[in-house]
Structure 1
Amino acid sequence: MGLDPGLRRLALGTLLAAYPGPVPPDWAVDLLADGLAGHTLFGTNVHDRAQVAASTAALRAGRPDVLIAIDEEGGDVTRLAHATGSPYPGNAALGAIGDVALTRRVYQSIGAELAALGITVNLAPTVDVNTADDNPVIGTRSFGADPVRVAAHSAAAVTGLQAAGVAACAKHFPGHGATVTDSHHELPTVDAPLSLLRQRDLPPFAAVVAAGARAVMTAHIRVPALTGADPATFSRAVLVDLLRTDYGFTGAVITDALEMKGAAVAAGGVGPAAVRALAAGADLLCIGAKVDAQLVERVAAEIVDALGDGRLATARVEQAAGRAAELAAWTRAAVRSSATEDTELGYAAARRAVRVDGVLTGLDRPLVVQLHTESTIAEGRVPWGLGPHLDGVPEIRVIAAETDAARLRELAGDRPIVLVGRHLHRLPGGPELVAGLAAEHPVTVVEMGWPAQWRPAGVRAFVTTYGASHANGRAAAEVLGLAR
Structure 2
Amino acid sequence: MTAVDVRRLAAGTLMPGFVGTSAPAWLLDAFDDGLAAVCLFGTNLVSWEQLGELCAQLRERAPQALLSVDEEGGDVTRLHYLAGSNQPGNAVLGRIDDAHATSSAAAAIGSELAAFGINLNLAPDADVNSADENPVIGVRSFGADPQHVARHTVAWVEGLQQAGVAACAKHFPGHGDTTSDSHLALPRVSASAQTLAGRELLPFRAAAAAGVASIMTSHIVVDALDPDNPATFSKIVLQDVLRGQLGFDGAVVTDALDMVGASGEIGIPAAAVRALAAGADLLCIGSETTAEEYQAVLDGVVAAVASGALPLARLWDAANRVARLAADFPARGGAYAGALSGAAIPDPAAIRSTFQFSRDAQGWLEDVSPAAVVQLETETNYAVGTVPWGPAATGRTVPVEGVVPGQKVAIAGRGLDAGHPAWVLADDLRSAGHNTIVVECGWPRGGADIVTYGASLAVSVALVDLLM
AA at the equivalent of 2:302:
V
Give the % identical residues.
Answer: 46
After TM superposition, the structure 1 = structure 2 runs for residues 277-316 of structure 1, keeping only pairs within 5 Å, are 277-316=275-314
User: 2:272 — aligned with what?
Assistant: 274
User: 2:354 — aligned with what?
Assistant: 353
User: 1:219 — aligned with what?
Assistant: 218
Contact 2:84–2:393 at 8 Å: present in 1 too?
no
Kindly provide the CA deviation profile for residues 352-380 of structure 1, in whole angstroms up to 9, marking residues without a partner as x.
43333331122532232211200211001
For the pair 1:444 / 2:444, whether they are aligned, the reply is no
- What is the rounded CA distance, in whole Å, between the counterparts of 1:132 and 1:12 in structure 2? 38
User: For residues 46 and 333 of structure 1, do their structure 2 counterparts lie closer, same or farther at Cα, with a shift above 3 Å needed?
Assistant: closer
The alpha carbon displacement at 1:230 in A equals: 2.0
Kindly provide the CA deviation profile for residues 261-315 of structure 1, in whole angstroms up to 9, marking residues without a partner as x.
000024x100000000001000000001010121111101101111111210000
AA at the equivalent of 1:379:
V
- What is the rounded CA distance, in whole Å, between the counterparts of 2:317 and 2:278 in structure 1? 12
Contact 1:170–1:217 at 8 Å: present in 2 too?
yes
User: For residues 327 and 448 of structure 1, do their structure 2 counterparts lie closer, same or farther at Cα, with a shift above 3 Å needed?
Assistant: same
Contact 2:17–2:39 at 8 Å: present in 1 too?
yes
- What is the rounded CA distance, in whole Å, between the counterparts of 2:259 and 2:418 in structure 1? 24
Kindly provide the CA deviation profile for residues 161-184 of structure 1, in whole angstroms up to 9, marking residues without a partner as x.
000000000000000000000000
- What is the rounded CA distance, in whole Å, between the counterparts of 1:363 and 1:57 in structure 2? 52
Kindly provide the CA deviation profile for residues 143-195 of structure 1, in whole angstroms up to 9, marking residues without a partner as x.
01011110000000000000000000000000000000000000001011221
AA at the equivalent of 2:413:
G
The alpha carbon displacement at 1:426 in A equals: 4.5
User: 1:318 — aligned with what?
Assistant: 316
AA at the equivalent of 2:398:
E
User: 1:129 — aligned with what?
Assistant: 128
After TM superposition, the structure 1 = structure 2 runs for residues 189-208 of structure 1, keeping only pairs within 5 Å, are 189-208=188-207
The alpha carbon displacement at 1:6 in A equals: 1.6
After TM superposition, the structure 1 = structure 2 runs for residues 51-62 of structure 1, keeping only pairs within 5 Å, are 51-62=50-61
Secondary structure class of the residue paired with 2:139: helix
The alpha carbon displacement at 1:129 in A equals: 0.3
Secondary structure class of the residue paired with 2:329: helix
User: 1:37 — aligned with what?
Assistant: 36
The alpha carbon displacement at 1:66 in A equals: 0.6
AA at the equivalent of 2:310:
L
After TM superposition, the structure 1 = structure 2 runs for residues 160-175 of structure 1, keeping only pairs within 5 Å, are 160-175=159-174
User: 1:416 — aligned with what?
Assistant: 408
AA at the equivalent of 1:365:
P
- What is the rounded CA distance, in whole Å, between the counterparts of 1:258 and 1:224 in structure 2? 21
User: 2:392 — aligned with what?
Assistant: 387
User: 1:405 — aligned with what?
Assistant: none
- What is the rounded CA distance, in whole Å, between the counterparts of 2:393 and 2:80 in structure 1? 14
After TM superposition, the structure 1 = structure 2 runs for residues 3-402 of structure 1, keeping only pairs within 5 Å, are 4-266=3-265, 268-332=266-330, 342-346=342-346, 348=348, 349-358=350-359, 359=362, 360-389=365-394, 395-396=398-399
AA at the equivalent of 1:319:
D
Aligned residues: 457
The alpha carbon displacement at 1:466 in A equals: 1.0
Question: What 5-or-longer segments of structure 2 have no aligned partner?
Answer: none
For the pair 1:464 / 2:451, whether they are aligned, the reply is yes
- What is the rounded CA distance, in whole Å, between the counterparts of 1:312 and 1:411 in structure 2? 63
- What is the rounded CA distance, in whole Å, between the counterparts of 1:170 and 1:65 in structure 2? 22
Secondary structure class of the residue paired with 1:227: coil
The alpha carbon displacement at 1:140 in A equals: 0.6
Contact 1:130–1:142 at 8 Å: present in 2 too?
yes
The alpha carbon displacement at 1:4 in A equals: 2.6
The RMSD of aligned alpha carbons is 2.2
Question: What 5-or-longer segments of structure 1 have no aligned partner?
Answer: 398-407, 457-461
AA at the equivalent of 1:20:
V
Which range moved further: 169-178 or 371-380?
371-380
User: 1:428 — aligned with what?
Assistant: 420
Normalising by structure 2, report the TM-score.
Answer: 0.93
Secondary structure class of the residue paired with 1:345: coil
Contact 1:373–1:427 at 8 Å: present in 2 too?
no
User: For residues 417 and 22 of structure 1, do their structure 2 counterparts lie closer, same or farther at Cα, with a shift above 3 Å needed?
Assistant: same
Secondary structure class of the residue paired with 1:319: helix
Contact 1:88–1:350 at 8 Å: present in 2 too?
no
Contact 1:71–1:122 at 8 Å: present in 2 too?
yes
- What is the rounded CA distance, in whole Å, between the counterparts of 1:425 and 1:436 in structure 2? 18
